[in-house]
Structure formats: structure tokens, C-alpha cells
Structure 1
Amino acid sequence: MRNSLKSSTLLAVATLAVATLAMAPAPHAVTPETATLSFDCGSYGSGTATLKAAQDGTAATIDLSTAAITAPLPIGANSVRSTLTLAKNGTDTATFTGDSNPAIPAGGAVSTGPLDGTVAAGDSLEAKSLTVVVFGITAECTATSPQNPGPFVF
């Protein structure tokens, strides 16, 4: 009977632990996770961009892919330097930077990220401009539409 009591107690503790984890708040999340907008990159082109955001505490990342800029030549992995500037809470700005990208074939849309930045709980960020440097050539892009479905809220 003593072993039965121990087994029942262990089962009850395990069940309580699982239930507690199931009801625990999810890790920090950003909403929406994906947004689209349009960029005008001057002589480099214009088009839509897709942004994918993720958060881990105060660290956040944004992956970006845009048809506004296409590669004139094949671009090797990790050779695109990007800075994404976002409006922060309507009165400030935040920047996300990085030099990580997949290999991009000639004529392919530019993809970059993860771009790294810092956020605080409740920050609302909406993309305003993008600077991309490839082969020493800088393309400056300006957002021409709001993010859809809306700003990222961390």
C-alpha cells in the first residue's frame, strides 16, 4: 500500500506540473508575425515586401524579402548588409540590422535577415525605410504603404 501511495503521489505531482505548464503564458510573442508593405527604391525598383518578426525577451528579429530590389548578379550568402528603420510607438524610431542572407540568384528578389533589434513589451513598430548594401552599392528604399495587417506589437 505504501508503494501505491507513493505512485499515486508522484502521478498527482506530475499531472499538476503538466497542467501548470499547459496554463503558463506562451513565450513572448509578436503580433502579427508576418506583414506586407510596399517600398520605392528609386532607380533600383519598387514593389512589395514581406516582413516576418520574432521575439525572445527584449531581442527581436525581422526577416525581409522584397521584389523592390532584384539582384543584377548572383549574390553569395551573408553578403547583403541591411538596415530596416521602423517607426516606434508613433514618436520614435527603431533600427534592425544584419548581414545575413541566403544566396540570391541573378534576377532574384533580395532576401535579408534575420535583422536584429531590441524591443520592450508593448512596442509598436512599423517599417518606414530600408537600406541595402550589396557589392558596395547602396539602395535606399522608402515605405510607400502602411504595413498590412498593421504594425508589429511586441
Structure 2
Amino acid sequence: MRHGKLGLASLLGVGIALAGTLAMAPASAAVTPDTATLSFDCGSYGSGSATLTATQSGTDATISVSTSAITSPLDIGANSVSSQLTLTKNGSDTVVFSGASNPAIPAGGAVSTGPLTGTVAAGDQLAGSSLQVVVFGITATCKATSPQAPGPFVF
């Protein structure tokens, strides 16, 4: 029985230490705003508005893009669109979010892509500047034509 009591006491001590560590851990970081809009011009592929939705977990961030600037002439299967979203970082540098994830898109449907992944630091302010979408080996490059509203993402 002596070993059983020692094991229970050790387990209880580890549980208390773990609870104290969790209580002292910083709260999960949040990006504000979590949703923003801007307009893109994609040349011969079209133009229109885009909605960007951002999330953050520490230094990892994701942004999903839904835009009416590009529509698909054919059905597009899930996870077959490759995208890169370039954002202006703190007014001068850039950061790229990339990925190859998308829902199935019906013919004539607006392109949605993401989550696109990237790395951020505390205090980074990011605003969309360009979007590159590759579908069926064809690349559409879009340039932002309006400021991001309500403003840049702040991580």
C-alpha cells in the first residue's frame, strides 16, 4: 500500500502543477478584425470584391479568401486550387500566405481558397495587396484596387 499512496500523491502533485501552469499561460492571441474586405482586379479573369477571414494561434496564422473577382468556367474539385495571398506588413515589408485548400466550386461559382497559412509576429499589421490563384495550371494574378476595410489585420 505504501507504493500506492506514493503514486497517488505524485499524480496529485503533477495535476496541481499542470493546473497552475495552465492558469499562468497567456491567453490565445487573437487577430482583429477577424474579417475584412477589399477589391481585386484580376485582368482578363475579372474583378470584384473579396472577403478575407483571419485566425491566429501564436505565430501561426491562416487566412481564407472568398472572391467574386474570379469565377470558374468549370467545376473545380475540392483541394485543387493553389493560392498565394501577399499582404503588406507594417506598411513596407510583405508576407505571403499560401496553400492548396478549397471547397468544391461549381461552374460559374466564385473562387474560395484557404485556409492559406503564414507566420506572424505580435503587433504585425497586414493588409492584402495581391492574390495569385492557380487552377487547372492557369495562373490568375490579382492586384488589390481598394484599401482593406475596416483596416489591416493586427496580430
TM-score range, shorter chain: 0.7 to 0.9
Moved over 2 A (4+): 23-26
Matches within 5 A, 1:11-90: 26-90=27-91
Q: Secondary structure at the match of 1:43?
A: helix
Normalised by the length of structure 2, the TM-score is: 0.84
Unmatched segments (≥5 aa) in structure 2: 1-18
In structure 2, the residue matched to 1:150 is: 151
Number of corresponding residues: 136
Q: Give the Cα separation in 2 of the matches to 1:68 and 1:26.
A: 37
Q: Give the Cα separation in 2 of the matches to 1:128 and 1:55.
A: 20
RMSD: 1.6
2:132 is the counterpart of 1:131: yes
Q: Give the Cα separation in 2 of the matches to 1:37 and 1:136.
A: 26
Q: Give the Cα separation in 2 of the matches to 1:78 and 1:84.
A: 16
Cα offsets for 1:65-115 (capped at 9, x unmatched): 000000100000000000000000111000000000000000000000000
Identity, % of aligned positions: 76
Q: Give the Cα separation in 1 of the matches to 2:25 and 2:78.
A: 39
Unmatched segments (≥5 aa) in structure 1: 1-16
Q: Give the Cα separation in 2 of the matches to 1:108 and 1:142.
A: 20
Q: Give the Cα separation in 2 of the matches to 1:86 and 1:138.
A: 18
Q: CA deviation at 1:24?
A: 7.7
In structure 2, the residue matched to 1:91 is: 92
Cα offsets for 1:92-139 (capped at 9, x unmatched): 000000000000000000000000000000000000000000000000
In structure 2, the residue matched to 1:10 is: none
Q: Which amino acid aligns with 2:75?
A: P
In structure 2, the residue matched to 1:103 is: 104
